[in-house]
Amino acid sequence: MKTIAIYSIKGGVGKTAAAVNLAYLCAQDGARTLLWDLDPQGAASFYYRVKAKVKGGARGLLQRNGELPGRIKATDFPNLDLLPADLSYRHMDLLLDESKKRKRAFGRLLEPLTDDYDYIFMDCAPSVTLVSENVFRAADLIISPVIPTTLSVRTLNQLSAFMEHPKLRDVRVMSFFSMVDGRRKLHREIMENLSQRRKGILRSYIPYSSDVERMGIRRAPLPEFAGRSAGGHAFRLLWREIKARIEDGGDGNRA
């Protein structure tokens, strides 16, 4: 089982779109996949038409005998299940702080799923909190979308600094450029500059496209309803590259 967290300190960078589409493509490859929607806004759940509600809420999940399997919902697509979001996830930090193993709670929750899934994707809410620390501890790989602007790049640096923690050194980090506008000089420059300087930046990027926005209207992953669109194609290339890197094992994928 590989656990992949889609994470960014900054909001609005195309995180949920990436989680929804990558999980879908992963399942389409035949891998048993679970998408865990950790964002209290529940956008990923919404895209898959699953109600953003979890039995017992965040508290039920984190209490001593809380478990994930009974809370999982099948999506409409083969091999892909979803663990929905819940509004109460906004208190997750407080609850984690009260719990005993506050940084390893997610790891414990995911453990019983080892044989059930090949890949688990976590769609995380932005910011650096106890929740994100839990996610980092539980993840094998963190994928961070970056908009090629100065502020976004700055948050990428912050993430790198954070990941220097000794307990997190084994977690691989990859980034990709998101919402890229090829007409803008600044985007082109930042992309070129950063790709040369940093190792963990993926070659595939996601262009800014209205297709991605249509996901909210269609309530389905992009490759499902617009597989041939530029966005659909870009996500497919991105997943192929990520998968190749995962299978490679590889070294120094630090962003």
Partner 1 sequence: MVSEGGGALRLTFYDSFDWRLHRAGLSLRLEQPSRRPAKLCCARQGTGEEDCQDVAAVPRFADDLPAGRLRTRLQQVGGIRALLPLVTLRGWRYRYAVRNEDGKMVARCYLEQWRPASRRYAGSAPVGLVRLEPLRGYEVDTAAVAELLRGEELERTGIDLLQTALELVGRVADDYSSKLDVKLQPEEDAVVAVRRLLRSQVDVMRANEAGIRHDLDSEFLHDFRVAVRRTRSALSQIKGIFAEPALAPFRDGFAWLGAVTGPKRDLDVHLLQFPEQQRLLAPGQSADLLPLRLLLEQQQAAAGAEVVAALKSARYRRLMRYWQTFLDQGGTEFDGANARQPAAGVANSRIWRVYRRVRREGRAISADSPPADLHELRKSCKKLRYLMEFFQSLYPRNKMRRAISHLKDLQENLGQYQDQTVQLANLRRHSEELAARGGEIPVPTLLAIGALMDRIAGAHQQTRAGFARRFAAFYTPANHRLFRELFHTRGPSMADQP
CB of 89 to partner 1, least distance (A): 18
3-class SS of residue 80: strand
Question: What 8-state DSSP symbol labels residue 201?
Answer: B
Question: Which positions from 140 to 159 touch partner 1 by CB under 8 A, shown as an x/- string?
Answer: --------------------
Question: From the CB of residue 189, how many other CB atoms can be counted at a distance below 10 Å?
Answer: 11
For position 71 contacting partner 1 by CB under 8 A, the verdict is: yes
Binding mask 14-53 toward partner 1 (x if CB under 8 A, else -) reads ----------------x-x---------------xxxx--
Nearest CA-CA partner of 10 in 136, 116, 147, 141: 147
- For partner 1, the binding residue among 76, 98, 111, 213 (CB under 8 A) is 76
| Dist CA 42 CA 25 (whole Å) | 20
Toward partner 1, which CB reaches closer, 74 or 186?
A: 74
Positions in 169-188 near partner 1 (CB under 8 A): none
Size of interface with partner 1, in residues (CB under 8 A): 13
Nearer to partner 1, 7 or 119 (CB): 119
Spell out a b/e string for 103-113, using b for 16 or more CB atoms within 10 Å of the CB, else e: ebbbebbbeeb
- Widest CA span in the chain: 53
Q: Which stretch binds partner 1 (CB under 8 A): 19-27, 66-74, 178-186, 192-200?
A: 66-74
Task: Give the sign of the dihedral formed by CA 111, CA 117, CA 119, CA 123.
Answer: negative
- Residue 73 within binding range of partner 1, rule CB under 8 A: yes
Per-residue tokens: 210: 């209205």
| Interface contacts to partner 1, rule CB under 8 A | 30, 32, 48-51, 71-74, 76, 81, 219
